[in-house]
Amino acid sequence: MEVGLAIASFTYGGLLGFFVIGRSAREYSKISVVSGFVVSLLVMVAVVSLTDVAWPWFTIIGVTVMVGASSLLNLIVSAYSGLK
């Protein structure tokens, strides 16, 4: 059961990040949200393979990375689109 929960929590952080961003009052570009999810999955691969973090932390790490990366990428995309 523990292995199943660990595998599920691997992607739950990113999915929860979609929900948090969707409930946010800010507008996010599609590319920043999808890119944030991909970054979240890549970070989770690194966390699982390189560290000994316990599986209950996977969701918290994933949602934090997802929201943070999406916010940063959204700032970059909006700044770039404002230059045109």
Count structural domains, the chain. Answer: 1
Helix or strand holding residue 79 (H, E): helix 56-83
Token pair belonging to 2: 């523990």
Quote the domain boundaries for residue 51: 2-83
Residues of the chain with pLDDT under 70: 83-84
Predicted structure pTM score: 0.85
pLDDT tens for each residue of 44-58: 999 888 988 888 899
